[in-house]
Chains A and B, each alone.
Chain A
């Protein structure tokens, strides 16, 4: 697992990382805390699972320091399912990321759901062979993470809230930022890079493509098939569901319904069909009633 030495090797490695992100498109990535939940997720049709000791809504309740999950627990989940297994490292905690890479996880989420380990720096993700996903609230943040080597972006939303409002805000921020770039002349782009605090070359590439150069998924507050369909229609290429499934009263049918809703996100009749028999969604907490200190999205920059 040594670092690539030439630009060409680096590009090839990055293509493999983005390649896996491409394979997860149009799918649902579910948070699971044990092998049994992982099997429920796989059976429902999840494209990947995120292995963590507590779902975000429980991390909120418990308080204390949230760290990388126990490798033994992640390993149990790797044995239980055949789909990709992701795990979270704290922002800036590259040693946790090294451990997760050595464990053979398929994707690392450098996540604001865990307590940050570095108030200045995120992980330099090009150093790793394993791909990373990172959260963002706006275009500048997304481009900074891609500049560091993230192979997938997701909205931060507000994890564990069950409230979709922040994910919507962040997705709209990113797409609006890209639309603005596309209307710019070449000679205005350096000033925009300065304004956003974004790496110039990634910004120009984004302007040319009309989308982020890596897949852009939604996360943070998705609790229902309708939430998933909303995020897909706003431009998300897949969705992460954290607490939304296993904090609900009907995890297995809800997991399946959200998978179907992502495939048929633009077909209201189908959304009716998949939502019809579901029970109560997670209770959740409204983000606008939260104290600033309770919010996770402000972690990282």
Chain B
């Protein structure tokens, strides 16, 4: 199997690298379109979606990423989910220049839980994603909120009934950061999609 690709334009990709390394999986950086040829799947990390969106355009990665996602698994966490969403909700002017890739049939609101002082950890139910009922201790940092899920996507984790992760085929988006905790079940579930 080819290595796990990490979109290393900006964000906490080193944390993702450590998580996959702990599972014995090598990773490879992706900053240029041709680097997508050498990876089996891709992680779009947490970071700032305004920055990621601009760098995806400046590096010419927008269309190559969409093509890659049509035939390979992609996981986005936090800002990564924002980039994977179909559309953004409730922001003006012009979503502060964030243009999502439209890979997952859901609508997302950036900073939907508030500012940094509102960041929190909570137990989420992720049975459909993990195949077990043990709650997942999830870290939400200036997290986005999933405000609508379309028919092409399925909710695979929820926090008190509110969706916090969605999946469509082998595309997976999470509002929280599995890379910031030691529980590696989500990375395992993602690798199972590969």
Q: In the bound complex, how far is the Cα of B180 from the Cα of A20, in angstroms? A: 11
With A22-B15, A81-B96: A16-B119 Cβ-Cβ less than 8 Å: yes
| Set B15, B31, B111, B180: member contacting A263, Cβ < 8 A | B31
Q: State whether B8 touches A26 (Cβ < 8 A).
A: yes
Residues of chain B within 8 A (CB-CB) of A22 are 12, 15, 46, 180
- Interface positions, chain B 93-114, Cβ under 8 Å from A, are 96-98, 110-111
- Contact A16 to B47, CB < 8 A, known contacts A23-B12, A23-B141, A26-B11: no
8 Å CB contact of A26 from B10, B58, B78, B96: B10
B55 within 8 A of A: yes
With contacts A24-B48, A26-B8, A82-B111 known, is A45 near B55, CB below 8 A? yes
Other contacts beyond A23-B141, A47-B10, A264-B31: 9, CB < 8 A: A15-B180, A19-B141, A22-B180, A23-B142, A25-B10, A27-B51, A42-B97, A45-B58, A262-B10
CB distance from A16 to the nearest CB of B (A): 4
B132 → chain A, closest Cβ, in Å? 23
Q: A223 an interface residue at 8 Å Cβ cutoff? A: no
Verify A25–B180 contact, CB threshold 8 A: no
CB contacts under 8 Å to B, within A37-96, are 42-48, 81-84
Asked if B121 and A12 sit within 8 Å, CB to CB, the answer is yes
The answer to whether A106 and B116 touch across the interface, beta carbons within 8 angstroms, is yes
Report B-chain residues with C-beta under 8 Å of the C-beta of A129: 117
Contacts of A259 in B (CB 8 A): 51, 54-55
Residues of A within 8 A of B145 (CB): none
A131 at the B interface (CB under 8 A): yes
Which residues in A have some Cβ–Cβ distance to B below 8 Å? Answer: 1, 12, 15-16, 19-20, 22-27, 42-48, 81-84, 101, 104, 106-107, 129-131, 259-260, 262-264
Q: How far is the CB of A40 from chain B (nearest CB, A)?
A: 12
Contact B117 A1 (CB under 8 A): yes
A106–B142 CB distance below 8 A: yes
Q: Which A residues are CB-close (under 8 A) to B180?
A: 15, 19, 22
Most-contacted residue by chain B among A15, A23, A42 (CB, 10 A): A23
B160 CB–A CB distance under 8 Å: no
Contacts of B79 in A (CB 8 A): 23
A25–B10 CA distance with the chains assembled, in angstroms: 6
A-B contact pairs, 7 of them (CB 8 A): A19-B139, A22-B180, A23-B142, A45-B10, A82-B98, A84-B116, A106-B117
Q: How far is the CA of A129 from the CA of B8 in the complex (A)?
A: 29
Contact (Cβ within 8 A) A16 B121: yes
**Set of chain A residues within 8 Å of B9, measured between Cβ atoms:** 26, 263
CA distance A277 to B98 in the complex (A): 26
**A contact residues around B54 at 8 Å (CB):** 43-45, 259
Q: In whole Å, how far is B135's beta carbon from the nearest beta carbon of chain A?
A: 15
A264 to B61: give the CA distance in the assembly, Å: 14
Output the least CB separation between A251 and chain B (Å): 16
- Report the Cα distance A289→B181, complex, angstroms: 48
Is B123 part of the binding interface, using a Cβ–Cβ cutoff of 8 Å? no
CA distance A81 to B142 in the complex (A): 14
Complex interface: chain B residues within 8 A of A43 (CB):
54, 97
| B58 with A47: CB separation less than 8 A | no
Given contacts A25-B14, A82-B91, contact A20 B117 (CB under 8 A): no
Compute how far the CA of A45 lies from the CA of B51 in the bound complex, rounded to whole angstroms: 4
Contact B46–A23 (Cβ < 8 Å): yes
Give the residue among A12, A16, A259 with the most B Cβ atoms within 10 A. Answer: A16
